[in-house]
């Protein structure tokens, strides 16, 4: 009798064990992920996001390590310190960096030049500033030919600089073609004296394939790059004559109905676009009224998907007695109706504080906050089925541009100490276009679930000291991870 009892007890235990395994195999029911949007009074938390926004403008003579023009009596390092202090409240994370090779226009770069560049880029990394990088020779526009190199010298310098660019790749958001003309801006006279095709081709061939290169004018790309080549989709644009309305010195000309303008607008969805306005002192010559129209500028920046814009131009360069356009924009207000009427993107919660009160917003704030990317998770869920974790998310980018300079956008699993245990790409960066809902389900196998307890999103950048960027969600952000789920049910 006891023997039969023991046999029955054994099979009962075995049955319930197998039942437990079967139930675990069925997994969990659908779990909704709570993803509150970031309220407007916390949007300063996004200020440290890399590879986007208002940028500084800096320069260095690589021979001396000093700056130029009005800062010629100080080092480039001191100019950087001064600029960061001046624009501290705006917290720029980018800087256009001009490296002038003037002293080497007819000879090779020496060790001193390379060392000056290394020290400067090490300082940028320490400060958390990434570079919109441009090499140039001619800084004094009243003495052009005396500073201009020959084509073969430029090509030789590119060969020399190639290892240096690769070394500092993670500190460079985008490389501008530079080298030709005053300030490296490819004016027509300089282009006629140089072999621009050879220079641009060499630059593309010698630099990392994942590094985009910006050109000043659309015809530079069209004239020198084959459309069916791998380089076509590497070449973006920088427009250095923004005044709110079209002008002949714009990258794609002055006619918004032209084929060139339409080409730039379409291509800009998948390219990094940088820009700067004219100096404020030139407003009286090129624009009427008190300065550049902020709403027109916002529309232009959104239409052609700008990632970055100079904070040095048309802002405070005239001192307290001469406030320019961006100062004016700080007292020009926008609301949801104005943005919708003009087809401009925005995140609804940006206008509302955590208590549900409306927040007044200026055009300056709008442009500053919406340059580049502003990504939020709109909704999400997960379940475990057949020992596989399935994570479904819907994201939206409210910014002007896709996050093309990031290393990637990933769904990751973390352990209880917020260390990554598994990673899967959510979508390719170019899929996160402005105001597009992007839905995707990411699956993790049973082997990838070991030690995992949390689900997060990683907007991964390339900087060693910045592990990741924030979503525009009111969720925990630690170690560079946006944590969506703190305790995965069913594991």
Q: Please report the beta strands in 233-320, taking only residues with DSSP state E, as ranges in sequence order.
A: 235-242, 273-277, 308-310
| CB distance 394 to 380 below 8 Å | yes
Q: What is the pLDDT of residue 463?
A: 76
Confidence (pLDDT) at 465: 63
Query: What integer best gives the mean pLDDT of the chain?
Result: 94
d(CA 14, CA 11): 5
Write the pLDDT tens digit of every residue in 289-328: 779 999 999 999 999 999 999 999 999 998 887 889 999 9
Report the distance separating Cα 13 and Cα 93, nearest Å.
62
Q: What are the C-alpha distances in Å from 316 to residues 294, 311, 324?
A: 16, 9, 6
Would you state the pLDDT for residue 48? 94
Domains detected in the chain: 27-45+373-485 (2.60.40), 52-341 (3.20.20.80)
Q: pLDDT digit string (tens) for 168-224?
A: 999 999 999 999 999 999 999 999 999 999 999 999 999 999 999 999 999 999 999
pLDDT at 20: 39
User: In angstroms, rounded to a whole number, what is the distance separating the alpha carbons of residues 157 and 471?
Assistant: 40
State the average pLDDT over residues 244-263. Answer: 98
The answer on pLDDT for 56 being more than 60 is yes
Q: What's the whole-number mean pLDDT along residues 88-107?
A: 98
pLDDT tens column, 374-414: 999 999 999 999 999 999 999 999 999 999 999 999 999 99
For residue 2, pLDDT beyond 50: no
| Predicted local distance difference test score (pLDDT) of residue 24 | 36
User: Does residue 18 register a pLDDT over 50?
Assistant: no
Residue 265 has pLDDT above 90, yes or no: yes
- Rounded to whole angstroms, the Cα distance separating 324 from 318 reads 7
Q: Residue by residue, what is the 3-state secondary structure of 355-404?
A: CCCECCEEHHHHHHHHCCCCEEEEEEEEEEECCEEEEEEEEEECCCCCCC
Position 461 confidence tier, pLDDT thresholds 50, 70, 90? very high
Helix H or strand E segment including 302: helix 294-303
Between 464 and 341, the more confident residue is: 341
pLDDT given at position 14: 41
Percent of the chain scored above 70 by pLDDT?
Answer: 94
**Residue 304's pLDDT is what?**
99
DSSP one-letter string for 45-110: GGTT-SS-EEEEEEEEETTTSB--GGGTTSBHHHHHHHHHHHTGGG---EEEEEEE-GGGTTS---
Pairing of strands 308-310, 333-334: unpaired
Contact 335, 16 (CB under 8 A): no
Lowest model confidence (mean pLDDT) among 23-27, 282-286, 482-486? 23-27
pTM above 0.95, yes or no: no
pLDDT at 28: 78
């Amino acid at each position: 009798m006891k023997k039969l009892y023991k046999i029955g007890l054994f099979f009962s235990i075995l049955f319930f064990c197998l039942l437990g395994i079967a139930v675990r195999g069925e997994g969990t029911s659908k779990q909704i992920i709570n993803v509150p949007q970031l309220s407007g009074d916390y949007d300063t938390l996004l200020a440290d996001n890399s590879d986007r926004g208002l940028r500084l403008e800096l320069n260095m003579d690589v021979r001396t390590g000093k700056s130029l023009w009005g800062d010629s009596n100080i080092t480039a390092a001191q100019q950087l310190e001064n600029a960061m202090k001046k624009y501290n409240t705006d917290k720029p994370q980018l800087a256009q960096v001009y490296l002038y090779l003037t002293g080497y226009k007819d000879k090779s770069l020496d060790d001193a030049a390379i060392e000056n560049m290394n020290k400067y880029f090490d300082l940028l990394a320490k400060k958390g500033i990434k570079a919109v990088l441009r090499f140039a020779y001619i800084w004094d526009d009243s003495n052009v030919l005396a500073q201009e190199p020959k084509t073969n010298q430029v090509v030789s310098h590119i060969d020399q600089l190639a290892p240096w660019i690769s070394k500092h790749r993670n500190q460079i958001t985008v490389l501008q073609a530079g080298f030709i003309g005053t300030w490296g801006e490819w004016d027509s006279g300089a282009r006629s004296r140089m072999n621009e095709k050879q220079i641009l081709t060499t630059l593309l061939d010698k630099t990392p394939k994942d590094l985009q290169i910006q050109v000043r004018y659309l015809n530079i790309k069209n004239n020198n790059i084959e459309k069916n080549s791998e380089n076509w989709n590497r070449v973006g644009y920088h427009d250095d004559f923004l005044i709110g309305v079209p002008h002949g010195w714009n990258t794609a000309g002055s006619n918004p109905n032209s084929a060139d303008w339409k080409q730039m607008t379409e291509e800009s969805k998948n390219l990094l676009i940088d820009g700067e306005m004219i100096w404020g002192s030139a407003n009286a010559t090129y624009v009427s009224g008190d300065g550049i129209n902020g709403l027109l500028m916002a529309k232009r920046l959104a239409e052609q998907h700008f990632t970055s814009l100079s904070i040095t131009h048309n802002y405070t360069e005239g001192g307290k007695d001469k406030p320019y356009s961006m100062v004016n924009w700080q007292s020009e207000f926008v609301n949801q109706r104005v943005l919708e009427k003009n087809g401009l993107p925005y995140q609804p919660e940006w206008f509302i504080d955590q208590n549900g009160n409306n927040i007044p917003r200026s055009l300056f704030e709008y442009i500053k906050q919406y340059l580049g990317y502003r990504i939020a998770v709109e909704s999400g869920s997960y379940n475990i089925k057949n020992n596989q974790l399935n994570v479904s998310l819907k994201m939206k980018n409210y910014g002007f541009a896709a996050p093309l300079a990031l290393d990637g956008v990933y769904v990751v699993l973390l352990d209880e100490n917020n260390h990554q245990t598994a990673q899967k790409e959510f979508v390719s960066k170019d899929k996160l276009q402005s105001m597009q809902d992007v839905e995707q389900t990411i699956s993790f196998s049973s082997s990838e679930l070991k030690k995992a307890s949390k689900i997060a999103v990683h907007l991964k950048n390339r900087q060693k000291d910045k592990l990741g960027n924030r979503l525009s969600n009111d969720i925990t952000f630690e170690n560079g991870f946006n944590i969506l789920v703190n305790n995965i049910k069913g594991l």
